[in-house]
C-alpha cells in the first residue's frame, strides 16, 4: 500500500524518478494499487485522511504499527484492482488458449487455474507474483500464436501482431517482477530454432538469407516494442534510468547471492535449499488433478509421440524459469507460481488425451472440476493453506515446506480485538505487520525482548518450523487461551503471559534541553541493550525554522578505549517516520534507533555519540546548551551496559584455522585482515576473535610485537578472562602504536598470550605482515620565522611563530600564511587547525581549516616541528581596512577547541588567539 501511495504521489507531482519504489520492480502492482486507491478516495473521506497521513511516511519499517493500521483502510481497494486485473487476465488466457488447443482444453485449463488454491490465494494479494504470472502466461500464449502459423495447422491470425503483442506483455511482466526478464532469451532462442528448423527439410543453405532477414527483423521489432513498453509504463526511466538499473540489478544480485532470512525445508532451516526445492514445493502446491494430469501427459506423449511448437514453448519456458529461480539463494514456493500455468496446461492436455478414449468425455471433465473444487473448498477462506492431499496434505507439508503467509497471525489479531480491554495491552508475533493491522492494542517487535513485555504471545506453525526443532521456552509463566484452526488443522496458538515485564517506555527530559544549531532540540535520550540490539531512545522537538530542513542522525558506539564498535546513519524522522516538514508544531516526538550488537562484543559499558548533519549540505550542526554555549558537535550518552548474557557467538570477523594457545582451553578463532600499510607513528588497529573452551586463568594478557621494533602488553579483553564462559566467543579490539622513528620496511606482526604476570603461554602467533612508511621529521625550528611566538595550546602543541607572505593584499587575491608548531607531548587525539582573517568587528572574512602539515597530529613525535602552510582566498568585495589573523585548534572528532595561553599564562577568549600581524587591504 505504501509503495502504491508513493508511486501515485510521485506520478501526480511529476517526481518521475520516485516511481521506482523497489527493485522488484513491482511497477504494475503500484499502477493497479494507485488506481484502486484513487477510486476509493473519490467516495471515502476517512480514506482521504489516512491517505494523506500515509503519504507523509518517509519509508516503511516493521515498528511503524500505526502506519499498518492506517494502510489497512486502503488495502481492500488496492487488492480489488489486482483481483480484477488477474481475473481479466484469466479470461484472456481462455480466449488465447482456445485459439491454440480448442474450447474444451482451454476451458478445462481456465477452470483448473481459477479453482487452484495456490493461484487463487496469490491472485488476491497486493503483490507481484500473480501479476507476473498472468502477464507472462499471456506473453507465452501470444508468442505461441505467432509461431502457430509455422505448424501444419495454421490458425486464422496475423503472426507478427501476436509476436509484437507478446513483446508488450513480456515488458509488462518484467515490470511486475524482474524474473520475467527470462522471456526475452526465450524469444531469441525460439527465433533461432525457427530459423534452423524451417530449412531443415530443404537444406540449411536454401533460402537462408531470407530466413535470416526475417528472424532479424522479427527480433528487432520484438525488442523495440519491448523497450518502448518499458519506457511507457515505468516513468522513472524518463527521469533517471541509471537509478532504475541500479535498483533492479542491485535487488537481483542480492537475491542471487543471499537470502535475507532463513526458511524451512525438509527439516532444515537454511538460507538456500538447492535445486530440489521448487520441484518438491510444486508437487505440494499443484493439487491432485494437475499432478495426475502431468503424469498422464508424460506417459501419453511417450506413447503418441506428438510434438509441436506450442508444447515446445511450454516445456522450454518451464525449464528456463526453473533453472533461473533455482540459481538464486532466496527461495519461496510463491516464486514458482509462473510455472503453474504451463504445468496445468500440460496436465489439461494429458486429461484431454485420456478423454479421447471415452465417448462421454464431458463426464470426465466435470469430475475433474468437482475434484479441483473439493481441493479448494476446505482451505477457504485461506486458500494458501491447501496442500496436495496425494502427498499427505498440510499435515505432511508442515514437515517439508515453510507454511503460512501470516494468516494465523491475522486471525489471532482479530480474535484478540474482540476481547475486552485489549486496547491498553500488548501482543507479539513473528510477523508484526500482520498483527498490527488487526490488533487494536500495541504490537511489539518480535524477539526475546518483545516476548518478555507482551501480554499476549502468538505462536504459529511457521514459528515452530523456524525454531529448527528447538522447543520454545516462554519468557515466563504463560497459559494457552486460544487455538487457531483452519484448513483442517491447528495453525496457531495464543498465549497470555501471566507476569510480563513492564519497561519504562517514556524517556525523561533533560533539566535543560540541548539543540543542534537552534534548529532541532534534543530534549532527552536513553540507551539500553537488548539481547540482539543496542537501542537509543531520543526525544526531539523542532525549533523555529527547523521544519525547513532535512537532517541525518549519525550514531557511533565506542568503548572506553575509543574503539568504534558500530556506527550507522539514519534520516531524522519522528515516531511516525515523517520528515521534519510534516511534524506537528511544538510537539515532542520520541524516536528509537536500533543498532545491531556486533557478534562477540565484550560485556561492559559503552558510550553512544550522536551527531546531526544537514542532509543537503552535509555540514555537522553544532551542539548548543540552553544558553547557546557551544558543546561540541555531538551529544554523548555514557554508560550503556552490555551484559555477558547478551554476547552473541556469531562474529563477522574472518575465521582462521583455529590456533590453540598452549595447553589453555583457548583458541584464536578469527581476525580482521591487517591494513596494507601505515605511516610511522600511526596506531595499528587489531581485531581478534577468541574462543574459550573451558575455564580460563585470571587476567590473561596479550603482547603484540611489530618485528623486533616494538612490543605492547594489554589485557586480553576488557571482560576479564576468568569471567569467560565455556563456549564463549569474544571479539576484542586492540591498538599497537608504531614508533614515530621506525624505519620504512615490511614487518611481521605477532601476538603472544601471557599470564597475568606477563609469562608467555604457548608460541607466538603470526597475524600477518605490515608495510611501514617512515615520514620525514624536523626537530629544529627554522631561523627565518618572521614573527616568533610562544603560545601554548592545552599543553599538547605550541605555536612558535608565523610568517605571512604579503601583509598588503588585494580583493580577490590570495594570502599565504605559514605557522610553525612544535609538539609538546604525543596525543592520540587528532587536531585540526583553523586560520581566520577577521576585520575590526571580529567578523570572519576568510578562513581555512586543515590538519597540521596535512597529516594527522597523532602520528607526530614529541618535540617535532611542523611547518604548516595555509592559503586564504580573499573575497572580491573585501572592503578597505585593517585585518588580523586568528588561530585555534580543535579536536577533529567533536569540534571542541583547545585552551590557549601566552608565555605569561594569560588565556585567550573563545580559545582563539589573535596573532600580532596586521593585514592591510591595498
Spatial separation of the C-alpha atoms in residues 438 and 612, rounded to whole Å? 37
Helix (H) or strand (E) holding 298: helix 288-304
Give the pLDDT confidence of 408-430 residue by residue, as tens digits. Answer: 999 999 999 999 999 999 999 98
Per-residue pLDDT of 688-741, as tens digits, reads 999 999 999 999 999 999 988 778 999 999 999 999 999 888 999 999 999 998
- Helix spans in 377-442 (H): 393-397, 407-417, 432-436
- Segment 511-519 shows an average pLDDT of 95
- DSSP 3-state of 12: helix
Mean pLDDT of the chain: 90
- The tens digit of pLDDT for each residue in 731-784 reads 999 999 999 989 999 999 999 999 999 999 999 999 999 999 999 999 999 998
Q: Which DSSP category does 578 fall into?
A: B
Q: 30-41, pLDDT tens digit by residue?
A: 999 999 999 999
Measured at the alpha carbon of residue 78, what is the angle toward residues 77 and 84, in degrees to the nearest 5?
Answer: 85
pLDDT at 196 over 80: no
Using an 8 Å Cβ cutoff, are 861 and 681 in contact?
Answer: yes
**Residue partners of 730: CB distance under 8 A and separation at least 6:** 600, 602, 647, 689, 690, 691, 692, 717, 719, 724
The arrangement of secondary structure in 514-646, i.e. its CATH architecture, is Sandwich (2.60)
SS3 (DSSP) at 864: coil
Question: For the residues 292-311, what does the mean pLDDT come to?
Answer: 80
Band of pLDDT at residue 850, cut at 50, 70 and 90: very high
CATH, domain range 654-773? 2.60.40.770
CB 884, CB 917: distance < 8 Å: yes
Q: Which residue has the cell 622513528?
A: 741
C-alpha cell of 307? Answer: 510434438
pLDDT > 90 in the chain, percent: 67
Helix axes 309-326, 129-148, angle to 10 degrees: 150
Closest CA to 427 of 446, 448, 406, 408: 446
Instruction: Give yes or no for residue 211 having a pLDDT over 80.
Output: no
State residue 845's pLDDT score. Answer: 95
Is 90 exceeded by the pLDDT of residue 252?
Answer: no
Question: Which pLDDT score is estimated for 721?
Answer: 95
Q: What is the 3-state secondary structure (H, E, C) of 454-518?
A: CCEEEEEHHHHHHCCCCCCCCCCCEEEEEEEEECCEEEEEEEEECCCCCCCCCCCCCCCCEEECC
Specify whether the CB–CB gap between 839 and 867 falls below 8 A.
no
Q: Where are the alpha helices (DSSP H) in 824-871?
A: none
Q: Number of helices (H) and strands (E) in the chain: give both, helices first.
A: 21, 35
Its pTM surpasses 0.85: no
φ, ψ for residue 109, nearest 5 deg: -60, -50
b/e sequence 43-79, b meaning 16+ C-beta within 10 Å = ebeebeebbebbebbbebeebbbebbbbbebbbebbb
Q: The domain 787-921: what is its CATH number? A: 2.60.40.1930
Cell of 911: 580559545
Peptide bond into 785 cis (omega under 30): no
328-369 pLDDT, tens digit each: 888 889 999 999 999 999 999 999 988 887 767 788 899 999
Give the C-alpha distances (Å, rounded to integers) separating 39 from 29, 69, 807, 887. 15, 20, 73, 65
Amino acid at each position: 500500500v505504501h509503495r502504491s501511495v508513493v508511486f501515485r504521489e510521485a506520478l501526480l507531482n511529476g517526481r518521475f524518478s520516485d516511481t521506482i519504489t523497489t527493485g522488484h520492480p513491482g511497477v504494475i502492482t503500484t499502477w493497479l494499487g494507485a488506481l484502486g486507491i484513487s477510486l476509493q478516495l473519490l467516495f471515502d473521506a476517512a480514506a482521504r485522511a489516512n491517505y494523506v497521513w500515509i503519504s507523509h511516511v518517509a519509508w516503511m519499517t516493521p515498528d511503524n504499527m500505526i502506519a499498518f493500521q492506517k494502510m489497512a483502510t486502503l488495502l481492500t481497494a488496492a487488492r480489488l484492482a489486482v483481483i480484477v486485473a488477474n481475473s481479466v487476465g484469466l479470461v484472456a488466457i481462455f480466449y488465447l488458449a482456445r485459439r491454440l488447443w480448442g474450447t474444451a482444453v482451454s476451458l478445462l485449463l481456465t477452470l483448473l487455474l481459477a479453482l487452484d488454491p495456490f493461484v487463487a490465494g496469490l491472485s488476491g494479494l497486493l503483490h507481484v507474483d500473480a501479476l507476473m504470472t498472468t502477464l507472462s502466461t499471456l506473453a507465452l500464449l501470444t508468442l505461441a500464436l505467432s509461431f502457430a502459423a509455422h505448424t501444419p495447422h495454421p490458425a486464422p491470425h496475423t503472426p507478427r501482431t501476436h509476436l509484437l503483442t507478446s513483446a508488450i506483455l513480456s515488458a509488462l511482466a518484467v515490470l511486475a517482477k524482474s524474473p520475467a526478464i527470462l522471456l526475452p532469451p526465450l524469444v531469441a532462442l525460439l527465433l533461432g530454432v525457427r530459423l534452423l528448423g524451417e530449412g531443415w527439410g530443404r537444406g540449411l543453405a536454401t533460402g537462408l538469407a531470407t530466413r535470416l532477414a526475417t528472424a532479424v527483423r522479427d527480433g528487432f521489432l520484438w525488442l523495440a516494442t519491448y523497450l518502448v513498453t518499458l519506457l511507457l509504463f515505468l516513468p522513472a526511466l524518463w527521469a533517471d534510468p541509471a537509478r532504475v538499473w541500479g535498483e533492479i540489478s542491485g535487488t537481483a544480485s542480492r537475491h542471487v547471492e543471499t537470502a535475507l532470512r532463513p526458511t524451512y525445508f525438509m527439516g532444515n532451516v537454511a538460507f538456500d535449499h538447492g535445486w530440489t526445492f521448487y520441484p518438491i514445493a510444486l508437487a505440494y502446491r499443484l493439487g491432485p488433478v494437475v499432478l495426475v494430469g502431468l503424469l498422464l501427459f508424460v506417459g501419453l506423449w511417450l506413447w503418441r509421440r506428438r510434438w509441436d511448437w506450442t508444447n515446445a514453448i511450454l516445456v522450454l519456458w518451464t525449464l528456463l524459469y526453473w533453472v533461473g529461480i533455482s540459481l538464486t539463494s532466496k527461495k519461496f514456493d510463491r516464486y514458482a507460481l509462473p510455472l503453474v500455468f504451463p504445468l496445468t496446461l500440460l496436465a489439461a492436455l494429458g486429461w484431454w488425451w485420456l478423454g479421447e478414449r471415452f465417448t462421454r468425455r464431458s463426464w470426465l471433465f466435470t469430475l475433474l472440476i468437482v475434484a479441483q473444487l473439493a481441493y479448494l473448498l476446505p482451505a477457504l477462506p485461506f486458500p494458501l493453506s491447501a496442500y496436495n492431499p496425494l502427498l499427505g496434505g498440510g499435515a505432511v507439508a508442515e514437515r517439508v515446506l515453510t507454511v503460512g503467509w501470516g494468516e494465523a497471525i491475522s486471525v489471532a489479531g482479530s480474535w484478540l480485538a474482540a476481547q475486552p480491554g485489549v486496547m491498553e495491552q500488548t501482543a507479539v508475533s513473528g510477523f508484526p505487520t500482520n498483527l498490527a493491522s488487526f490488533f487494536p492494542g500495541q504490537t511489539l517487535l518480535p524477539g526475546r525482548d518483545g516476548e518478555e513485555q507482551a501480554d499476549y504471545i502468538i505462536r504459529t506453525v511457521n514459528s515452530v518450523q523456524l525454531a529448527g526443532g528447538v522447543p520454545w521456552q516462554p519468557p515466563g509463566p504463560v497459559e494457552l487461551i486460544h487455538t487457531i484452526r483452519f484448513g483442517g488443522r491447528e495453525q496457531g496458538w495464543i498465549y497470555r503471559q501471566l507476569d510480563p515485564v513492564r519497561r519504562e517506555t517514556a524517556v525523561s527530559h533533560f533539566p535543560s534541553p540541548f539543540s543542534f544549531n537552534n534548529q532541532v532540540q534534543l530534549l532527552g535520550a536513553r540507551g539500553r541493550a537488548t539481547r540482539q540490539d543496542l537501542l537509543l531512545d531520543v526525544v526531539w522537538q523542532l525549533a523555529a525554522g527547523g521544519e525547513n530542513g532535512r537532517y541525518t542522525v549519525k550514531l557511533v558506539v565506542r568503548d572506553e578505549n575509543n574503539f568504534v564498535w558500530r556506527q550507522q546513519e539514519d534520516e531524522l524522522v519522528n515516531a511516525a517516520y515523517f520528515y521534519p516538514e510534516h511534524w506537528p508544531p511544538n510537539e515532542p516526538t520520541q524516536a528509537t534507533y536500533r543498532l545491531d550488537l556486533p557478534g562477540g562484543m565484550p560485556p561492559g559499558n559503552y558510550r553512544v555519540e550522536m551527531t546531526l548533519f544537514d542532509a543537503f549540505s552535509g555540514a555537522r550542526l553544532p551542539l548548543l546548551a540552553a544558553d547557546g554555549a557551544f558543546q561540541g558537535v555531538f551529544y554523548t550518552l555514557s554508560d550503556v551496559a552490555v551484559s555477558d548474557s547478551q554476547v552473541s557467538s556469531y562474529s563477522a570477523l574472518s575465521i582462521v584455522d583455529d590456533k590453540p594457545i598452549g595447553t589453555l582451553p583457548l583458541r584464536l578463532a578469527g581476525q580482521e585482515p591487517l591494513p596494507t600499510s601505515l605511516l610511522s607513528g600511526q596506531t595499528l588497529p587489531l581485531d581478534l576473535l577468541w574462543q574459550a573452551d573451558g575455564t580460563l586463568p585470571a587476567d590473561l594478557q596479550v603482547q603484540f610485537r611489530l618485528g623486533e621494533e616494538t612490543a605492547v602488553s594489554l589485557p586480553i579483553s576488557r571482560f576479564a578472562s576468568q569471567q569467560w564462559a565455556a563456549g564463549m566467543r569474544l571479539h576484542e579490539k586492540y591498538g599497537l602504536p608504531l614508533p614515530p622513528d621506525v624505519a620504512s620496511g615490511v614487518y611481521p606482526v605477532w601476538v603472544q598470550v601471557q599470564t597475568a604476570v606477563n609469562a608467555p603461554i604457548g608460541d607466538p602467533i603470526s597475524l600477518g605482515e605490515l608495510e611501514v612508511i617512515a615520514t620525514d621529521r624536523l626537530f629544529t625550528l627554522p631561523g627565518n620565522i618572521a614573527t616568533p611566538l610562544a603560545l601554548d595550546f592545552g599543553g599538547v602543541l605550541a605555536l612558535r611563530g608565523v610568517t605571512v607572505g604579503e601583509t598588503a593584499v588585494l580583493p580577490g587575491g590570495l594570502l599565504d600564511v605559514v605557522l610553525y608548531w612544535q609538539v609538546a607531548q604525543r596525543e592520540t587525539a587528532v587536531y585540526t587547525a583553523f586560520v581566520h582573517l577577521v576585520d575590526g568587528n571580529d567578523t570572519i572574512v576568510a578562513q581555512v581549516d586543515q590538519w597540521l602539515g596535512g597529516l594527522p597530529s597523532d602520528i607526530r613525535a614529541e618535540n617535532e616541528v611542523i611547518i604548516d602552510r595555509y592559503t586564504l582566498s580573499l573575497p572580491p568585495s573585501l572592503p578597505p581596512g585593517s585585518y588580523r589573523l586568528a588561530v585555534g585548534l580543535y579536536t577533529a572528532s567533536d569540534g571542541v577547541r583547545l585552551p590557549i595561553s601566552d608565555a605569561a599564562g594569560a588565556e585567550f577568549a573563545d580559545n582563539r588567539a589573535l596573532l600580532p600581524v596586521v593585514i592591510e587591504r591595498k
